Amino acid sequence: MALSDCNSLCSDCCALRACDTFRRGAQTKTRSHQGAWLTKARKQRKVSTPPESSSGATTKTDASVDLTRLLDLVASFHRQTIGVVGDFVLDEFVSGEISRVSREAPVLILRHRRTESYPGGAANAVFNLADLGARVLPVGVVGDDAAGHQLLSHFRRKRINVSGILRARDWVTPTKTRYLAGWTHTTEQQVLRVDREPNAKLSASTESAIASKGRQIAKRAGAVLVSDYGFGAASPALIKKLNAKLLTLDSRYRLLEFRDAGITAATPNEPEVEAAYHARVGTDIHKLEDFGQRALRNLNLQALVITRGKDGMALFERSRVPRNIPIYGSDAPVDVTGAGDTVIAAFTLALASGASYLEAAHLANYAGGIVVMKRRTATVTSAELTAALRQDATTIARHR
């Protein structure tokens, strides 16, 4: 199954592997900076090949970017403070060795190996920001349950400020439990996922408290990332009250409902855009452009990044032609769980650091390409991002 088809079936498949902008045909201008390898790699640029539509038409693309500039942006990540308002989720992974087929039903019996938990949803975005070097101010709610306590423990071990996270006795912490099965010495495969979700809406008092804390962090943060998984902590009505300097959005189910929320930029995946406009894109690049431009207008955005699986990213900006950014790294991901959280975390942090939308999209694409090669709900570090950029610089210098 192609990744784009997988994306249509699974809302978790929202990651893209970043661009290989700097591979072939790059033109280099040299300056003395950051060592010999960087001297040769400075000012490397490339214009990507336009993708063809099913009718043979092409989209004008311009993926030119300064590699050294991207490195400088990553180096400044540690100076940024980012707020995150969203739905905190616990991702559980239960691993088992296949023992036999049950006599009770035609199902596998698994011998339990281990159970692991990771921050998911908005919590995964928080962890990605922290590992990229930013100071993070999360705002949301967890239940007074085992999953909520585990999430708070994850935050505290990472030394992330939890003063903006409410504990609600009447709330169930959303939990996604994935069951993985495998034989000895074989790769585990997911065979089942069980979701535990709140069975009621957030109380009015909890919503009001989240909005209040959100406004407080918006005053202190260079940007606020909104991670909406549909559980209520990042509703459009609540986000409208934030008044943030820069506001980015990742909304799983209700993208167009944020039209009056003051969003600066959004990073939906292609299936989310298709769901918003009730039509498939497929290989029709004209339809992709139409949906992108419509979403840009409907949400009153400055920029929109549509992540497209193996087909890369499409960047839309006001008064500019759309840009296509090819994937970075392998088109055979190891695990795409939560990769969309990594993409918007890197994108938001880059914008807060002064990046253009194109530069931010490239950095997000690199981050996405790195994280999908890791198992479980994972993050990308600033060191990994820097290493990937330097490796491209070295490759280009070697091929000059």
Give the three-class secondary structure for 27: strand
- Quick one: pLDDT at residue 385? 98
Instruction: Give the sign of the dihedral formed by CA 17, CA 23, CA 25, CA 28.
Output: positive
- Quick one: pLDDT at residue 1? 41
- Quick one: pLDDT at residue 185? 84
- Quick one: pLDDT at residue 66? 86
State the catalytic residues.
341
Q: 227 and 87 in contact (C-beta within 8 Å)?
A: yes
Q: Look at residue 34 and tell me whether its pLDDT is greater than 80.
A: no
Residue type, 347: F
3-state SS track over 170-225: CCCCCEEEEEEEECCCCCCEEEEEEEECCCCCCCHHHHHHHHHHHHHHHHHCCEEE
Per-residue pLDDT tens digits for 222-237: 999 999 999 999 999 9
The model's confidence at residue 57, banded by pLDDT at 50, 70 and 90, is very low
Query: How does DSSP classify residue 269?
Result: B
The model's confidence at residue 22, banded by pLDDT at 50, 70 and 90, is very low
Whole-angstrom Cα distance, residue 258 to residue 227?
Answer: 12
Per-residue pLDDT tens digits for 97-139: 999 999 999 999 999 999 999 999 999 999 999 999 999 999 9
Average pLDDT over residues 30-42: 33
- Quick one: pLDDT at residue 41? 34
Question: Domains of the chain (ranges plus CATH)?
Answer: 3-88+123-170+204-398 (3.40.1190.20)
The model's confidence at residue 24, banded by pLDDT at 50, 70 and 90, is very low
Whole-angstrom Cα distance, residue 66 to residue 330?
Answer: 22
Q: Which residues sit opposite 189 in a β-bridge?
A: 181
Higher pLDDT, 88 or 46: 88
- Quick one: pLDDT at residue 47? 32
The model's confidence at residue 75, banded by pLDDT at 50, 70 and 90, is very high
Q: Which residues, other chains included, contact 167 with Cβ-Cβ below 8 Å and sequence gap of 6+?
A: 141, 142, 143, 144, 148, 152
Average pLDDT over residues 265-269: 97
Helix 339-352, helix 357-371: angle, nearest 10: 150
- Quick one: pLDDT at residue 27? 31
Query: How does DSSP classify residue 77?
Result: G
H or E stretch including 64?
none
The model's confidence at residue 399, banded by pLDDT at 50, 70 and 90, is confident
- For 266, what's the count of Cα atoms within 13 Å in the CB-facing half-sphere? 29
Whole-angstrom Cα distance, residue 136 to residue 130?
Answer: 6
Distance (Å) of CA 387 to CA 70, 330, 367, 382:
12, 16, 11, 9
- Quick one: pLDDT at residue 37? 30
Per-residue pLDDT tens digits for 323-348: 999 999 888 888 888 999 999 999 99
Per-residue pLDDT tens digits for 159-217: 999 999 999 999 999 999 999 999 988 889 999 999 999 999 999 999 999 999 999 99
Q: Which pTM was predicted? A: 0.83
Q: Look at residue 373 and tell me whether its pLDDT is greater than 90.
A: yes
- Quick one: pLDDT at residue 40? 33
Q: Which residues, other chains included, contact 99 with Cβ-Cβ below 8 Å and sequence gap of 6+?
A: 108, 109, 110, 111
Q: 63 and 69 in contact (C-beta within 8 Å)?
A: no
Per-residue pLDDT tens digits for 287-298: 999 999 999 999
Whole-angstrom Cα distance, residue 61 to residue 56?
Answer: 15
- Quick one: pLDDT at residue 208? 96
